[in-house]
Structure 1
Amino acid sequence: MSRVRLPAVVSHPVRLLPLSFLMLILVGTLLLLIPAATTQSGSAGFVDALFTATSAVTVTGLATVDTSAYWTPAGQGIILFLVQVGGLGIVAISTVLGLFIGGRLGLRTRLVAQTEMHVVNIGEVRPLFRRVAVIMIGFQLAIAALLTIRYREEYFETWADALWHGYFDAVMAFNNAGFSLNADSLTTYAGDGLIILPICLGVFIGAMGFPVLAELFKDWRNPDRWTIHTRLTVWGSIMLLVIGAAAFMALEWSNPATLGALPWHERIISGIEGGVMPRSGGLNSFDWGAVQGETLSMGTVLMFIGGGSASTAGGIKVTTFLLLGFVILAELRGDPEVSIGNRSIGPAVVRTALSIALISVMLVTSTTWLLMLLTDFSFEDVLFEATSAFATAGLSTGITPDLPHSAKLVLAALMFIGRVGTITAASAFVLRRRVTRYHLPEEQPIIG
């Protein structure tokens, strides 16, 4: 039997990745349009279904409707499925399943997986997928068990309700998606450390990135043997968590609308949440629309930075942010090359980091300007919303449901680009690498 060959225009791995996500979004939209998926008469609105499917597949969590009231348990199950598949990556899911049933990895499948997982050595794809599946499922089940016990003990009368909420929240936490079965997200559990802290832990670990988790799973006892990528991601994530949580508590400690009305120990718990969730978590136990202006700006910056590469988090990524810092440091010192520890960083990596940062700034600023034209909301709220969509963070000041359809479609497109990556999305249309056999004369334009 002859194999079905894909057209050359779509068979390249760089194009297969965004096309796969587009197909999943389309399938998710059609599923959410089934009348059984919504509590409304008839079927859900097309824009709301498309927006929700995009938000779920891109593990963002922004919602135009109340997930707990608008969608039936069947609709919520569809959202859960889309988040789970989108979080791991549709290519990773199919490949891991193929491994578990004894299938074989083809070269093209490995190349697509290499693009999705940011693996340098193509031979690392197979063992990486195995470790990813074990780590992801293990952490989700552990967090779900903790949440289920607490939910049953304090908030729900039946084990069935506790288990459903516990598993749903565990999947959302690890996948850094902001959907919730409660109309007020985690507000009901504000200050409850037995719920907030496990969810924050799931968000933090999920935002590390699969390659980092795989390396830590293999050799977490020897930090000196970690790769530069793992060092930057781990120590950078811890640094941003500490700075973010400390700044959030300092700014919001006396704000009665956020932390001010809580006992001191619950303020600390909510403060830790305030440092974790802007990294791409999306869940919240307080109203981000009620925070101080300085806190909103800090949250915008943290969302823009995002989490680790090849993770469920968005943003420009921690490694990109820190690498740009080392580039600036090398330039100030007059060093001929950029170095981190005892390793030098090649110019191609530096160009990629600069490109990602500049493209991201362009996307967020242009989207913010466009949303300002389409809506009447303040600049701070619109900037926060646009950054949240690009960084697939899922946090909002509460304006998402009130956006016009045109603005929702703009945010949906931005969520898609933020998920597949600015470089991947751009490279999908520029596949050829030109090898020049000559070098043009150099010239030094005036900089600054």
Structure 2
Amino acid sequence: MSGIVSASSPRQRLQNAASWSKHIITSSPSRFAIVIFAMLILVFTVLLSLPIASATRTVTPLADALFTAVSTICVTGLATVDMATHWSPFGHVLIFIGVNIGALGVLTLASLMGMLISKRLGLRAKLMAAGDTNPMRAHGGVVNESQTVRLGEVGQLLTTVALSALIIEGALAILLYPALVMAGVEPIAALWEAPYFAAMAFTNTGFAPNAGGVAVFADDYLVLSLLMVGVFLGSIGFPVIYTLAKHVWHVKKWSLHTKLTLVTTVLLFVLGAVVFLVLEYANPKTFGSMDAADTTFQAFFLSAMTRSGGFNVIEMDDLNGSSLLAASMLMFVGGGSASTAGGIKVTTLAVLAIAVWSEAKGRQSVEAFGRRIPSDVQRVALSVVAWGATIVALSTIIISQITKADISHVLFDVISAFGTVGLSTGLTAELPDSASYVLATTIFMGRVGTVTLAAAVAATSRTQYYSLPVERPIVG
């Protein structure tokens, strides 16, 4: 009898573990996503610590390996080491693989893992997956027809995520190869650099495999333009790519999320370039030494990269203080929801801006493109901004206290970390281990998303069956 018990115990434990895993996946995909990302970071930290991963065949210190793993999986682009020279070919391949895994997104990755384990998505999981891939993802109520991704399209969305990443990166690599060769890169080296740059552009990471980064292509408009296209496609988000793939010429069929994302993205892209032109045209360290054409192009390139791209031609430390602040604002906003970009997301900014405008006009409801935006979406947008600002403020205070560095440089690098942008004033590479751990935590929280993080902490959503008396406090 004891033999039977001992033989069945491992099987029972496996069944219990499988049941527990399936429960975690279906009950809280957001929490499961955080666990998956944490595990991936742990695995890549170990791999990057191996002697074979470094160019000198030595063990990379834990702080540097961990920070690089976080920056890689969270597609950020910040680094505490020289990415071009510190890592061996094996290390660069690890980073290439890591950014593509991270590019799938927190919640998309969770859904994919859930499908692999549970073999199928049940109705409840489909409800959550549909919510987690659009701006209504934090809404605990009934899934309505205004969502970006419908229930029946969840499986198609997951396929689109993988295929779009593969197709876009492949097309970019094909276009970048001759451009890099014409720019002076050796044909053999370009075979590696083209897909590497393509992946870093589409994933909005910003790592470069060559010494000097994209600064060596400062006068090559073709290479820089291709990188901007890759960054744009990665930053608009998978739901938008999915919508455009189905209804590219039928604007009336575009969802409200798609319209808000594209309009706000283009608007910030143009306004950012204009602001940098005005603030930097007389700065001899940046645009002051360029002609009109170079200045205009570089202003647009800088505007695109501060949204989450992470590539830089000019040194961020050379920008005027006013430009650093403007760049910080763009980085804080970031890109589109369910995209490879970070930040609070452009739809969050759009919803709040429309709400403020509606309040100023005395309108009873918040409307855009013939659609009414419900109050719960507005509350989510406000919560995202509040949590994001809180994370940035706390991280800035802690790192400033540790390093005693210039507060403007600390704030810039912290927002770059939160927005998973990858631009730096040079502070990140000089951080002590304790400060690098704080910045790595900021990257992680910025990547998984403030709403996702809050949803994972909350054990369950509670339904309130009563309402309290209304009383209006004085605000403003």
Q: TM (normalized to structure 1)?
A: 0.94
Aligned amino acid, residue 292 of structure 1:
N
1:79-228 counterparts in 2 under 5 A? Answer: 79-89=95-105, 92=108, 104-107=119-122, 110=126, 113-114=129-130, 116-118=132-134, 120-157=149-186, 159-228=187-256
| Structure 2 Cα separation of the partners of residues 9 and 283 of structure 1 | 38
Deviation at 1:324, TM superposition (A): 0.3
Deviation at 1:12, TM superposition (A): 2.4
Identify the match of residue 323 of structure 2 among 278, 288, 295: 295
Deviation at 1:89, TM superposition (A): 3.0
Deviation at 1:422, TM superposition (A): 0.3
Judge conservation of contact 1:191–1:267 (CA < 8 Å) in 2: no
Q: Which has the larger radius of gyration?
A: 2
1:299-338 counterparts in 2 under 5 A? Answer: 299-338=327-366
Q: Could you say which residue in structure 2 is the equivalent of 1:42?
A: 58
Deviations 1:304-334 (A, max 9, x none): 1110000011111101001101111122122
Identify the match of residue 61 of structure 1 among 64, 77, 90: 77
Deviations 1:372-418 (A, max 9, x none): 10112111101101100100011111111101111110111111111
Moved more, 9-18 or 335-344: 9-18
Aligned amino acid, residue 44 of structure 2:
G
Alignment CA distance shift 1:69-1:427 (3 Å): same
Aligned amino acid, residue 181 of structure 1:
P
What SS is found at the alignment partner of 1:151? helix
Q: Could you say which residue in structure 2 is the equivalent of 1:439?
A: 467
| Structure 1 Cα separation of the partners of residues 475 and 293 of structure 2 | 51
What SS is found at the alignment partner of 1:64? coil
Aligned amino acid, residue 13 of structure 1:
P
| Structure 1 Cα separation of the partners of residues 474 and 114 of structure 2 | 55
| Structure 2 Cα separation of the partners of residues 98 and 409 of structure 1 | 30
Judge conservation of contact 2:36–2:110 (CA < 8 Å) in 1: no
1:393-404 counterparts in 2 under 5 A? Answer: 393-404=421-432
| Structure 2 Cα separation of the partners of residues 78 and 298 of structure 1 | 34
What SS is found at the alignment partner of 2:372? strand
Aligned amino acid, residue 154 of structure 1:
A
Identity of aligned residues (%): 38
Moved more, 43-52 or 31-40: 31-40
Is 1:339 aligned to residue 367 of structure 2? yes
What SS is found at the alignment partner of 1:309? coil
Alignment CA distance shift 1:165-1:98 (3 Å): farther
Is 1:24 aligned to residue 52 of structure 2? no
Moved more, 437-446 or 53-62: 437-446
Give me the CA root mean square deviation.
Answer: 2.2
Q: Could you say which residue in structure 2 is the equivalent of 1:250?
A: 278
Judge conservation of contact 2:67–2:80 (CA < 8 Å) in 1: yes
What SS is found at the alignment partner of 2:198? helix
Is 1:267 aligned to residue 295 of structure 2? yes
Name stretches of at least 5 consecutive residues in structure 2 with no aligned partner. 1-10, 135-147
Aligned amino acid, residue 138 of structure 1:
I
Name stretches of at least 5 consecutive residues in structure 1 with no aligned partner. none
Deviations 1:357-380 (A, max 9, x none): 111111111111111101121111
Is 1:371 aligned to residue 399 of structure 2? yes
| Structure 2 Cα separation of the partners of residues 93 and 434 of structure 1 | 26
Deviation at 1:42, TM superposition (A): 2.4
Moved more, 27-36 or 125-134: 125-134
**How many residues matched?**
445
